[in-house]
Each structure stands twice: as structure tokens, then as C-alpha cells.
């Protein structure tokens, strides 16, 4: 397992796929590296690529508002993505791109040791829980793996396209808050 410093250097030097050659910035994560909750999204968008931080665009702002509304404190969570570089035109990462980044994500999880992981969207759920799942079938259902509770839910970007999902995402994140109170 790499230390945080080694992980950052490894990500910065990564050229395993075309994404590493096209990026402006590597996007590793933000938040408390000892947090009990880890949110995992798909990959950086344009704003994230420019700033080098995950979830700073419209979807990230929506997530921040939601977390604040549910009384999450910044020290409660860490936010990362499956892939660390922006796919062109914000497309879904290919399997090979995600597979190349998975060791970095697993290293982050091992360093943070969260008690709860929230998979934001289908891509995160497929690579954290199982490639065979569909987010619409397992959204809102708890999964336990190796002593860690995992909640798959919609990606905040989905709400920007379909506001009817807002209530469901709010409910899921509220359940995360309740699980925190139960197990921490």
C-alpha cells in the first residue's frame, strides 16, 4: 500500500491510458483523509479537471448543499472518483480506464478506512460493489463488504437531468446519516 504522498505522485505520473495524456490536472480527492464516510463518483468533469478537485462543478455544488442540509460536517467525509482524469466530453469511463485507476481508488479506501462508502451513480457502484448491478435496481439498499457499509445511490448529475430523483437521493443520503449515528 502506498502512503498518501506516494499515491499522489503515482497518480500524477500515471500514463496508463489516454486520459493521463489529455488531462489538465489529476483529481485525487477532497476532504478528511480519516473520515468515516467516503463518497465515490464516476470521474472528473471539466470544472474538476481545471481545478484539480472532485465535485466542484454543478453536480458537486448540489452534493455540497445536500450534505449541508443533512448536517454533515466537512470532517465527516472524503470525496473521490473511480477515475482520476477527465474522460473527453465527460463521457463514461471505459472499462480499461476504470480498471487502470482502480488500484489508486482501492489504495485511497485502504488509507481512509471508511466505515461507510456511498457510491454516487452507476459507474461507482459497478466498480465498488459488482459489475453486474444496475443502479436503478439496487439504489438505496445497504451492502456490507469487509466490515464496510456501502450505499449505492444516484449521482448528483442525474438530478440536474431529472429532478424527480432528488427525493430519492435525499432519502438515501439521510439513511447514510442515520447509519453513521448507528455504527459510529
What is the 3 state secondary structure string of the chain?
Answer: CCCHHHHHHHHHHCCCCHHHHHCCCCCCCEECCCCCEEEEECCCCHHHHHHCCCCCCHHHHHHHHHHHHCCCCHHHEEEEECCCCCCHHHCCCCHHHHHHHHHHHHHHHHHHCCCEEEEECHHHHHHHCCCCCCHHHHCCCCEEECCEEEEEECCHHHHHHCHHHHHHHHHHHHHHHHHHHHHC
| Pick from 128, 103, 107: nearest CA to 40 | 128
How many Cβ atoms are within 10 Å of 112's Cβ, its own excluded? 22
Q: Which residues contact 132 (CB under 8 A, 6 or more apart)?
A: none
For residue 143, being part of any structural domain is answered with: yes
Answer whether residue 168 is part of any domain.
yes
pLDDT of the residue at 182: 97
Residue 110, domain member (yes or no): yes
Q: What is the CATH number of the domain that holds 141?
A: 3.40.470.10
Q: Does the residue 161 lie in any domain? A: yes
Q: Is residue 34 part of a domain?
A: yes
Domain presence at residue 116: yes
pLDDT score recorded for residue 68: 97
For position 108, what pLDDT does the model report? 99
pTM of structure: 0.97
Integer angstrom CA distances of residue 90 from 48, 57, 64, 166: 11, 12, 20, 22
Flag residues of the chain having pLDDT under 70.
Answer: none
The answer to whether residue 184 is domain-embedded is no
The verdict on residue 158 lying in a domain is yes
User: Can you give the residue range of the structural domain that contains 46?
Assistant: 4-179
Domain total of the chain: 1
Amino acid at each position: 500500500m502506498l502512503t498518501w504522498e506516494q499515491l499522489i505522485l503515482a497518480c500524477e505520473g500515471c500514463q496508463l491510458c489516454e486520459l493521463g495524456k489529455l488531462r489538465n490536472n489529476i483529481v485525487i480527492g477532497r476532504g478528511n483523509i480519516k473520515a468515516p464516510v467516503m463518497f465515490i463518483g464516476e470521474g472528473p468533469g471539466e470544472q474538476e479537471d481545471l481545478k484539480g478537485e472532485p465535485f466542484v462543478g454543478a453536480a458537486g455544488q448540489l452534493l455540497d448543499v445536500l450534505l449541508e442540509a443533512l448536517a454533515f460536517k466537512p470532517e465527516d467525509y472524503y470525496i473521490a472518483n473511480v477515475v482520476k482524469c477527465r474522460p473527453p466530453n465527460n463521457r463514461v469511463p471505459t472499462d480499461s480506464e476504470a480498471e487502470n485507476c482502480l488500484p489508486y481508488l482501492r489504495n485511497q479506501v485502504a488509507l481512509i478506512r471508511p466505515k461507510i462508502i456511498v457510491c454516487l451513480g452507476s459507474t461507482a457502484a459497478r466498480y465498488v460493489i459488482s459489475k453486474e448491478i444496475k443502479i436503478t435496481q439496487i439504489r438505496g439498499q445497504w451492502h456490507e463488504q469487509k466490515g464496510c457499509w456501502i450505499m449505492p445511490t444516484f449521482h448528483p448529475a442525474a438530478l440536474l437531468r431529472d429532478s424527480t430523483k432528488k427525493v430519492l437521493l435525499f432519502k438515501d443520503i439521510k439513511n447514510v446519516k442515520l447509519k453513521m449515528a448507528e455504527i459510529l
